[in-house]
Structure 1
């Protein structure tokens, strides 16, 4: 069940990509067909493994082959499977309640919209998928009006599917999907990963559940900053994928059907991670690199120490290692959104490297207050792992992710910085979220370490062992919840909630603008394009009405025709070049708003002087008005 999020993301992603080639639309039937194919392929894989003579094995037996990985069944052999799974589900349900409550506080009402620049694009992509009846990532970039283009669109395809199936609006669908991702998929994967790494103790599972709600950087930051919903979805899939990779590498020497199925599940999960957002694969690579190196060392060591090791054997081991590093490096470069030479065009550091290290130690980010509750648990887990000599590789993974965060947050721009962190656009927010995701299993381990320490103290006070263990666990989890929710999560939720609004003073689209946009599909004929300054909310004409807009985003790629309309549309009655551009792009209407401009003072706000003063410019007929928002028909070019 812990892998359900990653596998379902792949089924959604692949079904959406393949459907247009088969003449299928984007609807529940397409998803059902994709699911059935995945099930049939899984059955076929199991059959083939059986025919090849690969024996079946249970999790506990396979775990004995593990080098530093504990299977989900390894520590729970004395409990029934039903009790163990019920405990895990209870932990996930607890986390779902905590996180769902907080996300509802962020979104406030079903129809409120994050009034941020990236959300203009995301919600318009959802409408675009509805319009073209395709959820494919290969065509999602076509929303910009420059032809079909790739964009990791699994989040958008899910929202489009929900909106079409239920008949509710895009904002309501987006908020609902985000609650499911944050409150269900995320803790489900976190608890699963903690079980794989540290066993089936109830305290580990409940510790992971409570910790999954305790960090400000994930899940709350990614529904605030940006907003970057695809990253929000993708990060929820990293831990279960990491757990799957750990199981595979930990059991690599066992030639069993169980390992074969794990390999098949990994193959099944990878497309979902890549098409939800490629930097989830980069994060996964960071997590698994230390384990892969450990497994390689365990494989090479005995062979090289053997008396009969030949030169050819040594060369073979060396070539295998070089090939592995080559594949890793190639993937690292290929998954980057920008070349290293573009290092000056990405996000800048905001603090010194020493301050960034301090934020890592205090499990915080962005100059926010220290998160002492989670910091103590992560440090306790690190000390325990060093002492126990188990799962040290995961601690190394966490430190690698911390290093990337330090580079993004506190190191000056350079090709090296961007080579390391360019997969996340050198953005400390994305890496802060990744670091918080990886910290959750450590916090769960730390909760067990601290609780065990308290339980030993209670036993010395002659309190029965079972009672002392229970009291210690409750005290640690309650302290983690209460301290983190008050000092860490509550400020993050309050900050995120400021982004979500739909009122007369909203930053991008106000209630007046929404009311006008809702009339547009009754006024503007299909096929006609509407021009408008995207910074005043007009880019969302498309999301609300479905009518094509000339500038669907604040970062719309400019062409000569678009530039002349942006700069000179209000001179159409006297400037033939304007009418040529209008006719070329089928622009028949224009929308303006005298209300707020998003990010006042940004020079890009002033790139649309031709879309001002249309009420007094000749050649424009006002056909609708709500408050300060107006729709004009362009008559100058008739």
Structure 2
């Protein structure tokens, strides 16, 4: 496969997998328009990831049929809850809507911004069969292949890929589950399926979520919705950076789900209650509300998918929702005639929520493993603050026009009671990023545990609120200029905003796409693990190694990718792991098979027949590479060379 045109089955499958299950659920739940469409991907993630867990527990192979059953179950559950609520007298307030093409305009903007983002991803990747040669990508590709072979794609089992002796091992598997379905439906292979999922995450899931958040938080006005959709593709840090750096595919998927969670929270909390009626620039109602009950029920249904995409996204969303709730509570208690008792209750609730979140972040045993990881800060706090202000964290390209609109949007949002929380939340997320990116002190370490003390994961949050703020900034700027000039009446100013957004799309399509693609290409352009010659050898393994035979190799020399590239079981499917006694014996002493009596019994138990030997080119000198010293079998009796490719040579084990 040499072009994205040839990858169309995988792209179509990825779009279908991430949209159709959730769309069925959202329609059954009574959602229509932008809410129904934009909430479809996060609901799909919940259906897919939870279905995989249930299938693993009952011993059913994961696949399309399992997801179909899960879709029916979740749709029936949500529908049943809403029917029961109505039966008990819980009815929705009549939603305030603003039609006349607002939803169509928002989706049109999302298409434009999504196409720009998708093109940037495709250009950055290059060819769909190219993969980022990074530490994490090795695990993710092997985990997808492993789940395809075993039929178990549960988040409760995926961690056993790097710990084969364990019966269970948690690892958030939502991204892997989606990629597995894409491969099953398209037959494109693990790598191409992963590339297709990245394109759809950036081109569909992210812009739709941004438009939904804008609709609920700012208003169902054509101008601001078009602007938001277009601007969703302007910020390289969200979500393009995580699709390449690391490579943090699960975290990227989790991050693009956060706008939908926030949109549901806005509808539930109604920030403030009177903000629903607050007029927009043209004097008409600004907010279109799908209903508090429905938004709450659907919002709860999103959370399992976010959790199983990546747990730290729950905390990221929790931070933003907490700010939203505190601002809403403050506005409520500051209203006239609010009793002292109610104010005390709200204050106590706010303190309690913050205390729980601090416990989760700083002390909860759930994140003990990630707290043990520390990355040294590479810049000062002042530099990090400047990057956040310019919406270009971690040295991503500065989207000058978009970042200026964010600054305008901050001012405009602060002036409106119903959008003031956007400012506070954006500043709060920025403060956390600045602290982690610019400091190695005890406070930074304590607060960064769930995010692996990695500023990149926090940097990806910039677009969650930068997109709505920039859209509001564009609307305010255009509306203000036209109002001062008296050039347009109120009814036509909004279409001036649409026109400005279209012009912005033309500019951003040419300016931002190239910069964004360079961000993706950063970690796709290397050949540190395997080069073309090594990859060619790995892809020939089905012709060289009988099915069912295991292959060993020092994973640091590139042999670790033999499973996703060559469809053969590898003894060490990651660069590090808890391998158990037999694998440890082989790793340390295989080259001494002729003299060490423990080696051959281990070889036979592991069904080991071949070895991929060769020098290491990835992270040379890493101390963990010494754990595989016994796999250097070059010029060793009992190992017959079979094929050669670049640094790697395939040997048949004859010593046992």
- If the length of structure 2 is used for normalisation, what is the TM-score? 0.84
User: 1:428 maps to which residue?
Assistant: 455
User: 1:64 maps to which residue?
Assistant: none
Contact 2:370 2:449 survives alignment (8 Å) = no
- SS of aligned partner of 1:113: coil
Question: How far apart, in 1, do the equivalents of 2:580 and 2:347 lie?
Answer: 52
User: 2:7 maps to which residue?
Assistant: none
TM-superposition CA deviations, 1:167-212 (whole Å, max 9, x none): 2211111111111111011100001101111112222112111211
Contact 2:589 2:629 survives alignment (8 Å) = yes
Contact 1:197 1:391 survives alignment (8 Å) = yes
Change (3 A) 1:321 1:335: same
Of 319-328 and 430-439, deviating more is: 319-328
User: 2:437 maps to which residue?
Assistant: 409
Structure 1 residue 474 corresponds to structure 2 residue 495: no
Question: How far apart, in 2, do the equivalents of 1:463 and 1:257 lie?
Answer: 32
- SS of aligned partner of 2:105: helix
TM-superposition CA deviations, 1:515-536 (whole Å, max 9, x none): 3333434554555432111122
Question: How far apart, in 2, do the equivalents of 1:364 and 1:253 lie?
Answer: 34
Question: How far apart, in 1, do the equivalents of 2:327 and 2:378 lie?
Answer: 35
Question: How far apart, in 1, do the equivalents of 2:239 and 2:460 lie?
Answer: 7
User: 1:634 maps to which residue?
Assistant: 653
Structure 1 residue 442 corresponds to structure 2 residue 469: yes
Question: How far apart, in 1, do the equivalents of 2:489 and 2:351 lie?
Answer: 56
User: 1:566 maps to which residue?
Assistant: 587
Contact 1:191 1:209 survives alignment (8 Å) = yes
Contact 1:567 1:609 survives alignment (8 Å) = yes
Structure 1 residue 155 corresponds to structure 2 residue 175: yes
Contact 1:252 1:259 survives alignment (8 Å) = no
Question: How far apart, in 2, do the equivalents of 1:24 and 1:341 lie?
Answer: 31
Of 16-25 and 101-110, deviating more is: 16-25
Contact 2:121 2:520 survives alignment (8 Å) = no
TM-superposition CA deviations, 1:4-51 (whole Å, max 9, x none): 121111111111111233443211111111111111112211221121
Question: How far apart, in 2, do the equivalents of 1:227 and 1:341 lie?
Answer: 16
- Using the TM superposition, give the Cα deviation of residue 485 of structure 1 relative to its aligned residue in structure 2, in angstroms: 5.3
Question: How far apart, in 2, do the equivalents of 1:364 and 1:341 lie?
Answer: 25
Question: How far apart, in 1, do the equivalents of 2:107 and 2:256 lie?
Answer: 17
- SS of aligned partner of 1:500: coil
Question: How far apart, in 1, do the equivalents of 2:559 and 2:328 lie?
Answer: 55
Question: How far apart, in 2, do the equivalents of 1:131 and 1:408 lie?
Answer: 39
Structure 1 residue 196 corresponds to structure 2 residue 224: no
Q: 1:530 aligns with which of 551, 571, 582?
A: 551
Question: How far apart, in 2, do the equivalents of 1:55 and 1:294 lie?
Answer: 26
Structure 1 residue 277 corresponds to structure 2 residue 310: yes
- SS of aligned partner of 1:630: strand
Question: How far apart, in 2, do the equivalents of 1:315 and 1:217 lie?
Answer: 40
User: 1:126 maps to which residue?
Assistant: 144
User: 2:482 maps to which residue?
Assistant: 455
Contact 1:348 1:408 survives alignment (8 Å) = no
Please list, as runs of the form range in 1=range in 2, the aligned pairs for 1:129-148 lying within 5 A after superposition.
129-144=147-162, 145-147=164-166, 148=168
Q: 2:122 aligns with which of 78, 88, 104?
A: 104
TM-superposition CA deviations, 1:407-441 (whole Å, max 9, x none): 11101242x21222221111111111112222111
Structure 1 residue 223 corresponds to structure 2 residue 243: yes
Q: 2:643 aligns with which of 619, 624, 634?
A: 624
User: 1:394 maps to which residue?
Assistant: 422
Change (3 A) 1:169 1:438: same
User: 1:177 maps to which residue?
Assistant: 197
TM-superposition CA deviations, 1:65-102 (whole Å, max 9, x none): xxxxxxxx3xx2xx34xx22211221121122211211
Structure 1 residue 26 corresponds to structure 2 residue 44: no
Change (3 A) 1:581 1:134: closer
Change (3 A) 1:464 1:342: closer
- Using the TM superposition, give the Cα deviation of residue 622 of structure 1 relative to its aligned residue in structure 2, in angstroms: 2.0
Change (3 A) 1:327 1:550: same
Question: How far apart, in 2, do the equivalents of 1:336 and 1:454 lie?
Answer: 54
- If the length of structure 1 is used for normalisation, what is the TM-score? 0.87
Question: How far apart, in 2, do the equivalents of 1:58 and 1:419 lie?
Answer: 45
User: 2:537 maps to which residue?
Assistant: 516
User: 1:58 maps to which residue?
Assistant: 94
Of 333-342 and 566-575, deviating more is: 333-342
User: 1:493 maps to which residue?
Assistant: 517
- SS of aligned partner of 1:390: helix
Question: How far apart, in 1, do the equivalents of 2:230 and 2:466 lie?
Answer: 12
Please list, as runs of the form range in 1=range in 2, the aligned pairs for 1:36-435 lying within 5 A after superposition.
36-60=72-96, 73=97, 76=98, 79-80=99-100, 83-144=101-162, 145-147=164-166, 148-250=168-270, 258-297=291-330, 306=339, 320-332=349-361, 338-339=367-368, 342=371, 345-414=373-442, 416-435=443-462
Question: How far apart, in 2, do the equivalents of 1:357 and 1:239 lie?
Answer: 23
- SS of aligned partner of 1:216: coil
User: 1:69 maps to which residue?
Assistant: none
Please list, as runs of the form range in 1=range in 2, the aligned pairs for 1:542-581 lying within 5 A after superposition.
542-557=563-578, 559=580, 561-579=582-600, 581=602
TM-superposition CA deviations, 1:443-500 (whole Å, max 9, x none): 11111122123323543xx5777777645653465347626853x5523412422533
- Using the TM superposition, give the Cα deviation of residue 563 of structure 1 relative to its aligned residue in structure 2, in angstroms: 4.3
- SS of aligned partner of 2:176: helix
Question: How far apart, in 2, do the equivalents of 1:382 and 1:602 lie?
Answer: 46
TM-superposition CA deviations, 1:553-576 (whole Å, max 9, x none): 112235555444334322222333
- Using the TM superposition, give the Cα deviation of residue 218 of structure 1 relative to its aligned residue in structure 2, in angstroms: 1.4
The alignment yields a C-alpha RMSD, in angstroms, of 3.0
Change (3 A) 1:482 1:599: farther
Q: Would you say how many aligned residue pairs link Structure 1 and Structure 2?
A: 604
- SS of aligned partner of 1:217: coil
